Structure formats: C-alpha cells, structure tokens
Amino acid sequence: MKSLAELQALRDKMKGNMGVRHDDTGNIRVVVGMATCGIAAGARPVLQAFTEEIAKRGLKNVTVAQTGCIGICQYEPVVEVTVPGKEKVTYVKMNPEKAVKVVVDHLVNGKVVTEYTIGAVKK
Amino acid sequence: MYRSHILICGGTGCTSSGSARILQTFQDELTRYGLNEEVKIVKTGCFGLCAKGPVVIVYPEGAFYAHVRAEDVKEIVEEHLLKGRIVRHLLYEETAQEDNIKSLDQTDFYKKQKRIALRNCGVINPEDINEYIAYDGYQALGKVLTEMTPDDVIDVLKRSGLRGRGGAGFPTGLKWSFAKASEADQKYVCCNADEGDPGAFMDRSVLEGDPHAVIEAMAIAGYAIGATQGYIYVRAEYPIAVKRLTIAIGQARELGLLGKDILGSGFDFDLDVRLGAGAFVCGEETALMTSIEGHRGEPRPRPPFPAVKGLFGKPSILNNVETYANIPQIILKGSEWFASMGTEKSKGTKVFALGGKINNTGLVEVPMGTTLREIIEEIGGGIPNGKKFKAAQTGGPSGGCIPASLIDTEIDYDNLLAIGSMMGSGGLIVMDEDNCMVDIAKFFLEFTVDESCGKCTPCRVGTKRLYEMLDKITKGEGTLEDLDKMEQLCLYIKDNALCGLGQTAPNPVLSTLRYFRKEYEAHVIDKRCPAKVCKQLVHYVVVPNKCRGCTLCTRHCPVGAISGEVKKPHSIDLEKCIKCGACIDQCKFNAIVKE
C-alpha cells in the first residue's frame, strides 16, 4: 500500500463485511421463516438466495434474519420484508428465483412484488 | 455475505475457561448443518465482563450468551442460527427480557462505561488487520503523515491533556516534545507492556484485543519525535498477547504500514517485540530500557532522563500500552473531543481491572472523575454474599487503600494522590469486612521484598525490615513503638530509594496506617485480628449447642485435632490445630467458628 487513498479504499471495502455487528435499527429487515414447516418447504435455499443476491449487489443496510413459525404453514416458505417507515410486506410460497426478484424489485427499487404477497396468493 | 457473526471471546480469561473448545465446537456444528458459508466465526479480544465468561455474542441480534459451555453450542446452532430462535436460558440474565433482548450497552455493567482504549476489544478479530482497518484503523497515521507536522502532532496531544496511563500520569505531549527537542542520529519509541501489578490486566487485554491500535500509535510517536525504530517490551507470561502482537506487526509490514516509506510519505518506521522475564522492576523506565539492551534489568539514577539519553544511550520515549491505545482516536477526533471528558486535570477515560470481592470481575473503562461508588456498586454489581465494603486498593504494590468513608471520591490522578493512594496502572481490588488490612499491607510488602532488584539499600534492606515488622504484628508480637518506627522507616524509604519501585513501596503500609490504625492497634494491644485473618491471632472453636456430633469434621481434620463422641458436641484441641479451616468448610451446621 503506497498511499492514504489506497488505505481508505480498503477501509470502505472492509466496512461492508462488518455490517451485522452494528446497530441495525435503520436497516431493511428480511426475515425468513425457519421453523420446521419453513425448512421442510425449502426455506434454506431461499435464505441463501437472499444473502447471495444482497452480497452480489453490495447492498448495505439490509439485515437478513430468521424467525420461527408464524402460523401459516401452508404458505411456507414465508418471508417478511420491513422497510423502515413502511408497512411490513409478507411474501409467501417463496423459492430462490422469487427471492432474487424480491431483492431486485423491492429492496433495490422499492417496488413491492405484489404477485408474491400473501394478499395476491390467497385470492 | 455472512448473515450472522458469532463473536467468541479469545482473551486470556475466557481462553482459560475453555473458549478455544467452544470455537472448535461451533465450527464443527456449523459445518454439520451446512451453515459455515453464511455464518462467520470471529475470535475477538476481551469483552470486559470476565465474570460471565466464556462469552459469546451472536449478531445481528446482539445476543449475549454468558458462561457458555461446549455442550451448549449445539443448542445455540440448532435453535438460534438454524431456526432463528434466541436461546433465552443461556443469555446473560440481565439482557433476557420478556419479548426482546436488552442490548449490551444498556446493561448496568456497560451503561456507564465509555470505551476509547478498549473500543475495539471484543468487537474485532485482532488477528485480522482488515477488521481494524474497517473501523478506521491506520487512518490516524495516514492523517499525521499527510496533513500534520511533528509539532502539530505534539500540540494536539498537549492540548488533549492526555497523561501517562502507566501510573505516574506525566503529560504525554510534554514527554514527546522533550524527545523531539533532543538532537541525535537515532531515536527510539518504546512501549511499556510489562504489566506487573498483581490484579491489573488492562494492557494485556488491549494487546490481545486491539494490537494494531498500539502499533499505529507508536508509528505516530516515531513520526512526532523523529524515530525510525520502536520496541514493545512485553512480559513473556502473556503468550496470547505476544502471539497476536507478532501477527499484527507482520500484517502491518505486509501492507506497508510499517517499514520503509509508509503510505508514500517517505517516513520509515519499524517495530520489534522484546520479551521480559517478568521482573516487576522492569516496568520502571530506566530498568526496562536496560533490559531491552540485553543487560540485567536494574534502574539507574535520573537525570539524564530517557528523552535525552535513553535506550542505547539515544533519546527515547516510553509510554504505556493504554496511553498509546488512546492516541489514534485523539488524532482522528481532535484534542477538544478528548479534553471534553474527565476532570479539570485528568482528561479522558481510565481502564480499571476490577477484582477481589466484587460481583462483576472484569475490565471497565470509565471517564475520569467517576466515583468509586459508581464503579463498585453500579458497574461492578456490588459485593458478593451481602458483605460490607471495607476498602478498595488501587495502584497495586505502589498504591494504597481507599477506605469506605471515601467511596464518593471522584477518581482522577490528583484526588487519588491526595488521599494517599495512586492511579497506578489501574488495578482496583475490592475488599470486604473479611479482609485484614495489616495482612493486605504484608501481602504487598512481601511482593516488593521479592521484586526489589537490590541495587539500592533503602529498598533492598528497608522493605525487608518493614516486612519483618508487619509479620511481627500479624503474629501478635508487635508493640506500639513498632508502629511509629514503621511510619518513620516508610518515609525514609520514600525519600531515599533510587527508583519508583522503592519510592512507592511503603504506600500500602502508610495508607493502611492512616485509615486503619485501629486495626493495627487491635493486633498490637488486644492481640486480636478483627477480620479474623491472621492465623496466629485466631483459634477455631466448636459452638456446643449447634454441633450435632455428626463427626464429619473429625474425618476431615488433617491433624486429628477434633475429638468427641457421636451425636455429642465435639471439641478442638487448640494445641494440635493448624488452623487450616477444613472443618469450617465441611460443617453443615455452622457449628465451628473463628474467634
């Protein structure tokens, strides 16, 4: 390393890796249902698809977390996305391809993917 | 991307209670569940709350698991990391709430703390320079090399009010300016990591948890005074600290943050580690430098001060680990920021190693001016077993005892000196009513007698005579004349000893004589030890109406001093009794007492 600019570039790169160790109250939260029902319905690949896609796009301020069963086991895998200041959106019957689309449309562009939400599927 | 980080404490305390095995088990379990690609394990330095160790924190939730055993790991992985359910029964009790978890900085232990020197301890992986850099590591060095002149650096330090954290509290900026003013072809920057006070472990924890902060600060010091070489003198008894320091120096060299032409500025600086063999006197600056040179660690008279003629006869500065750990932050955030904390003459924060009769044993960092009561009762969680606070010992063998009546003293350099103690490196040993103050003074004198290097007579002979008088008193053979003689001898040693070790060695005696003279007099006049510690002055007796005659004590007495018939009160033969206390430990009816 031969300059301060190089050091600062390295810092900015490394900062992204430390994200989860900070206060995450201002973050977008992606919560994947990982109870027995969720796991059996394929929640793990969904979770992995989320983390991979978020990393690939270098999104900051996103926390990926898990939760237990919320009681709608027939709709698993269930994923809840909460953007601060907005209402929670519940996606159901998710798969890795749908997860990628949610990242692109909802997390990046702020557009809810209505056809995957519980409201659309129930009808 | 790792969605979760598991932080496992790799400090000396948690390592000795098995954190390495916990880490291994986490690795195995994560692999078993195929989670190792998405969950990262980080071995950190000390979190500070050693009493609750081994400690594991899981992010993003910030769940603080206390007293973790390797057997618990499976449950944490299955429940928390796989299914996303925090394992409440393993959490640190205070953080486990009804429907949520209390964040760590809201707990009583952390709430009042202000972490500057310890800011990265328990937060980053000390063996990975990238994590230090992610938290603004080496930015201060970059700023100094590109924007500041050496005089600017010294000026910032002077205005910050930073004083040496090793104990004496000499203004750091002033020390650097003396060394800068000395003309020489070669100068040296040294770091005192020879932490010798019994009960103090803050320097070890900084080196274990954030070694790069010290390295960065030493490079800054080199730039400020015009030195190109530094030495870290660390005791060989700190193997983890030595290992992480060596790794850190290697990584800094690899990135070009140590070595030739650092960050393209033309400034050269390199560091080496020197291991000390653990002699207490080598914490004294002239003795430390003599030891680095390869000679026997003995002090020499000052002046000339090291800033003029130090290591290898060249101008040198020596600062303590904790002092260095503050410096990068002061450079980045400015002298006003630092000077806004603390008291009028003591700025910033101080790390204390809490030990002794206290619930939350561990490392705490508080702003100067925090009262002893806040540290002991709020942060420390009070005294175990409902006992009463009697005194706090600060400054180790060079310091003194602060009695309960002064518990509201605001702690800073000058206040502690005024009440006959000293800051020292920051060991804070809490004592309750079961501690005998004469015995405490004797303990510290025994230490200084052992550690006196022998070069000057007041220290070599004086401390020995002092110890003998204390020994006499604890045996009930002292006279009132001895007390006066002791006081005189103390003052004589203070005035005449060659170095800091001897000059401060009488402090434990002087301060206990000052605040606990009655206790000394009880030993001398009544031949009685009020705290029932001094063996020769107590004897063990059976309380007849409590004794059920269960014979448990007779079976455990190693010298057969207890006799009696089954189901009838026993008795102890005082001639045979060696006062080992085995009977008290065994008795289920509290029927044996010390008198």
Q: Which of B3, B83, B263 is the closest to A64 by Cβ? A: B3
Check if the beta carbon of residue A81 is closer than 8 Å to that of residue A89: yes
Contact B3 A2 (CB under 8 A): no
Contact A54 B84 (CB under 8 A): no
Q: Are residues B287 and B194 in the same domain?
A: yes
Give B266-320 pLDDT, tens digit per residue: 999 999 999 998 899 999 999 999 999 999 999 999 899 999 999 999 999 999 9
B192 to chain A, minimum CA–CA distance in Å? Answer: 28
Contact A21 B2 (CB under 8 A): no
Residue A27 belongs to domain with CATH number:
3.40.30.10
A119 to chain B, minimum CA–CA distance in Å? Answer: 25
d(CA B388, CA B407) in angstroms, rounded, equals 12
- Counting every residue, how long is chain B? 595
Q: Which residues pair with A99 in a beta bridge?
A: none
Residue A14: inside a domain, yes or no? no
- pTM metric for this prediction: 0.89
Q: Print the domain residue range for A87.
A: 23-116
Check if the beta carbon of residue B118 is closer than 8 Å to that of residue B126: no
pLDDT confidence of residue A86: 87
Q: Which residues of A touch B60 (CB under 8 A)?
A: 20, 24, 63, 65
Span B496-522, mean pLDDT?
A: 94
Inter-chain Cβ pairs, chain A and chain B, closer than 8 A:
87
pLDDT confidence of residue B166: 85
A104 to chain B, minimum CA–CA distance in Å? Answer: 17
Contact A7 B138 (CB under 8 A): yes
Residue B26 belongs to domain with CATH number:
3.40.30.10
pLDDT confidence of residue B406: 94
Least confident of B194-203, B404-413, B499-508: B194-203
Could you say which of B285, B308, B338 is where a domain stops? B338
Least confident of A10-24, A40-54, B369-383: A10-24
Test the A interface: residue of B1, B5, B254 with most A CBs within 10 Å: B1
Check if the beta carbon of residue B185 is closer than 8 Å to that of residue B315: no
Span B94-123, mean pLDDT?
A: 86
pLDDT confidence of residue A123: 61
Residue B124: inside a domain, yes or no? no
Average per-residue pLDDT in chain A? 87
Could you say which of B397, B432, B467 is where a domain stops? B432
Q: Are residues B180 and B299 in the same domain?
A: yes
Three-class HEC string of B194-260: CCCCCCCCHHHHHHHHCHHHHHHHHHHHHHHHCCCEEEEEEECCCHHHHHHHHHHHHHHHHCCCCEC
- Residue B363 in tokens: 């490392």
Supply φ then ψ for residue B419, to 5 degrees. Answer: -100, 15
Q: Are residues B303 and B452 in the same domain?
A: no
Whole-number percent of chain B with pLDDT over 90: 80
Average per-residue pLDDT in chain B? 93
Q: Are residues B48 and B178 in the same domain?
A: no
Least confident of B233-237, B452-456, B502-506, B562-566: B562-566
Span B239-261, mean pLDDT?
A: 96
pLDDT confidence of residue B205: 93
d(CA A91, CA A41) in angstroms, rounded, equals 14
d(CA B60, CA B65) in angstroms, rounded, equals 14
d(CA B255, CA A14) in angstroms, rounded, equals 14
pLDDT confidence of residue B36: 85
Q: Look at chain A and report how many structural domains it folds into.
A: 1
B365 to chain A, minimum CA–CA distance in Å? Answer: 20
pLDDT confidence of residue B503: 94
Residue B531: inside a domain, yes or no? no
Which position has the higher pLDDT, A1 or B328? B328
Sequence-distant (≥ 6) Cβ neighbours of residue B555 within 8 angstroms: none
d(CA B200, CA B350) in angstroms, rounded, equals 13
pLDDT confidence of residue B393: 93
Give B62-75 pLDDT, tens digit per residue: 899 999 999 999 99
Least confident of A69-83, A92-106, B228-242, B265-279: A69-83
Q: Are residues B288 and B401 in the same domain?
A: no
Q: Are residues B383 and B283 in the same domain?
A: no
A122 to chain B, minimum CA–CA distance in Å? Answer: 26
Residue B442 belongs to domain with CATH number:
1.20.1440.230
d(CA B439, CA B507) in angstroms, rounded, equals 14
Element (H, E) at B193: strand B188-193
Give B35-94 pLDDT, tens digit per residue: 888 899 999 999 889 999 899 999 888 899 999 999 999 999 998 988 888 899 999 988
Q: Print the domain residue range for B551.
A: 539-594
* pLDDT(B549) > 70: yes
* Token pair 């109870």: residue: A35
pLDDT confidence of residue A23: 67
Contact B263 A3 (CB under 8 A): yes
Span B544-562, mean pLDDT?
A: 91
Least confident of B115-119, B342-346, B425-429: B425-429
Contact A10 B130 (CB under 8 A): yes
Residue A16: inside a domain, yes or no? no
Contact A32 B84 (CB under 8 A): yes
Give B155-182 pLDDT, tens digit per residue: 999 999 999 998 788 999 999 999 999 9
Q: Which residues of A touch B261 (CB under 8 A)?
A: 2
Contact A17 B263 (CB under 8 A): no
Q: Which of B2, B3, B131 is the closest to A14 by Cβ? A: B131
- Residue A113 in tokens: 């993917």
Give B466-497 pLDDT, tens digit per residue: 999 999 999 999 999 999 999 999 999 999 99
Chain A: residue nearest B266 by CA? A2
* pLDDT(B240) > 90: yes
Other beta carbons within 10 angstroms of residue B208's beta carbon come to 27
Give B180-222 pLDDT, tens digit per residue: 999 999 999 999 999 988 888 999 999 999 999 999 999 999 9
Contact B131 A18 (CB under 8 A): yes
Could you say which of B295, B314, B338 is where a domain stops? B338
Confidence of residue B5 (pLDDT cuts 50, 70, 90): very high
Contact B264 A3 (CB under 8 A): yes
- Residue B122 in tokens: 């328990």
Residue B420: inside a domain, yes or no? yes
Q: Look at chain B and report how many structural domains it folds into.
A: 5
